[in-house]
Structure 1
């Protein structure tokens, strides 16, 4: 059973000033506004990230508000916190997480429109949703995520052991060799370590091409994106991940990643190839029962991997689910996910902007007491 939570023909904001609204409409900025990830907090409020792949995006982190029965985006935590050019604020957020303590972990790419990330702009920002206050902001340095090539994609949080795992897709420099990798953040020491740097599982699959609705994706310029989707098992023992241009699912034991004395070579040789999902994938999220849910770009929907017998299954699919990007849990037995037609919007396809179902946030029931890995 699945249903639509809200939908748009194109994104729109609840602007604090009329002049901002006028500029947004006149320049047709909405044509570059792509909702990437969606999450819901403990109070039931929905949040959406809109990465600044265009410098004119009004706000990169947003809360959904309803005005006159219409869903709009509102800058979160404030408009000031979304100021372009101020590296101490949010510059471009793609992946984020809301943990079991109702804290939001925001992964700031730093880069605007694929320009190099200014020094200090790449960061991990922690925001307490209960008190609506900043907890911490930790800069991710160039030697961990190179400012030119980095493309900080997504993250998972392990508060029990005190670690955060981040994917760097390594595609931040178009027409340049990829440099994919995984970044491990130690909460106790506030230090970062880069692992699986340019290892085969974090790079794009060689000469990979795929189609959606029998149409080549990025036919004029083949898409090359390294590791993007990431998930953590409910017992915190296994880190799952996948490259976007590829169909395989990979895993590595987190005990290897939590021990900084383990040589990088040993981590490289410990990667497990779990098999093909049968589809390209953008976002992933594990539950508290041993299942891993992943978006199906080619399959137009959501699939899941059962870790108990290492089997892949289709969960839900709909022809309107064009480029399902992020997936998460509402902690009430359902997953939430969004589709954004990214492949068509980025390639400037002819899109019917009057279609009220171009961009959709969905909810699908999984089962009683099924929650995020955070509650495992």
Structure 2
């Protein structure tokens, strides 16, 4: 689906030491309530809204080679309906692959086994074989993983039928875990996942279904020390006054499958590691950690994407922006505006089009003394990328 990044290009993309794109310090307490901050003027490419969701928070988006669009809605709040849906502009979201898989957790008619229904879906990804994969961390409202519910579900888009379900053991997805995003290397038969609940990468052998956690103690998968997440100048704090505990989140795989990029949400540093080392189960944690490299410092980000030219895209959640990191190591802001409110996940589609969701996580009531500050619907947007890039 995408062209390859060569090893030489990857090495060239390694940035020299430089000042980070944003200041590293933030005020310890917010000085103004959200809504009184003057946002930066819109600039760069103009996003076009594809769909609006007034009452369901959207996180993931993915696009097939035929241009079919799929999104997901995690079970984080009351009023949850479908978990995975196909989006046809002008129509209501269509539960996918069917209503049974989208049965609510509390529905008495839902299948008894959580492995046979969606529990709390966080991500959807179409691989290069045009199969849709649904990542279900199975932790509704972050209350803990439902036993037997953490899974990857593979769906054939040609038949709209589930091909298989890979259920993760509690060693891979323990109770406090939250599997967040995934990328696939179908050539080698591996997938790589981020686990943002406790912090780890997960390496999955797609042929055997066996998975293992790696880099659990490495700083790259945990919040950066001293980092404060501020959105539009408003510092986020949990109801108990503590900082949010978002661990590793964004992830992307080079088109040749040789390099994995990832980042903790509570931080601004993008890391990378050769996938040959991730696949080598004989490496000790220390030897594996020795292969982790700092790659770029674009911004705090919730999601990554990649285009046909090999450019990486990161969501700028601090200031409503989207960044492009080129193979030559150049970081640029390609779009920014108040409508890009917590850009969450990217999906690359036909016509050199980048799709993204706005999940507005910073507006949740828990960050604002029990009252949500959201004023616009959750959204699915697209950007027509510069054909010269």
2:297 to 248, 262, 276: 276
Deviations 1:47-77 (A, max 9, x none): 11111113641121112245xx4x4222211
Q: 1:352 to 1:269 in 2, by over 3 A?
A: closer
Matched, 1:129 2:157: yes
Instruction: Report deviation, 1:43.
Output: 3.3
What aligned pairs does 1:27-106 form with structure 2 within 5 A after superposition?
30=55, 33-54=56-77, 56-65=79-88, 69=90, 71-85=91-105, 86-87=113-114, 88-106=116-134
Q: Could you tell me whether the CA contact under 8 Å between 2:61 and 2:125 is conserved in 1?
A: no
Matched, 1:2 2:46: yes
Structure 2 unmatched runs, 5+: 1-44, 106-112
Q: TM-score, normalised by structure 1?
A: 0.83
What aligned pairs does 1:163-174 form with structure 2 within 5 A after superposition?
163-170=190-197
Q: Could you tell me whether the CA contact under 8 Å between 1:165 and 1:183 is conserved in 2?
A: yes
Instruction: Report deviation, 1:127.
Output: 0.5
Q: Could you tell me whether the CA contact under 8 Å between 1:340 and 1:358 is conserved in 2?
A: no
Q: 1:197 to 1:346 in 2, by over 3 A?
A: farther
Matched, 1:154 2:181: yes
2:245 is paired with a residue whose SS is coil
Q: Distance in 2 between matches of 1:369 and 1:106?
A: 33
Q: 1:275 to 1:333 in 2, by over 3 A?
A: closer
Structure 1 unmatched runs, 5+: 12-29, 171-178, 371-376
Instruction: Report deviation, 1:94.
Output: 0.8
Match of 2:261 in 1: 240
Instruction: Report deviation, 1:311.
Output: 2.9
Q: Could you tell me whether the CA contact under 8 Å between 2:223 and 2:245 is conserved in 1?
A: yes
Q: Distance in 2 between matches of 1:63 and 1:267?
A: 39
Deviations 1:277-329 (A, max 9, x none): 1x210010123423111111013121011233x23221111121110111110
Q: Could you tell me whether the CA contact under 8 Å between 1:332 and 1:368 is conserved in 2?
A: no
More strand by share: 1
Q: Could you tell me whether the CA contact under 8 Å between 2:58 and 2:379 is conserved in 1?
A: no
Match of 2:380 in 1: 361
Paired residue total: 333
Q: Could you tell me whether the CA contact under 8 Å between 2:71 and 2:124 is conserved in 1?
A: no
**Root-mean-square deviation over aligned CA pairs:** 2.1
**Higher RCO (CA < 8 A, seq sep 6+):** 2
Q: Could you tell me whether the CA contact under 8 Å between 2:67 and 2:350 is conserved in 1?
A: no
Q: Distance in 2 between matches of 1:132 and 1:208?
A: 43
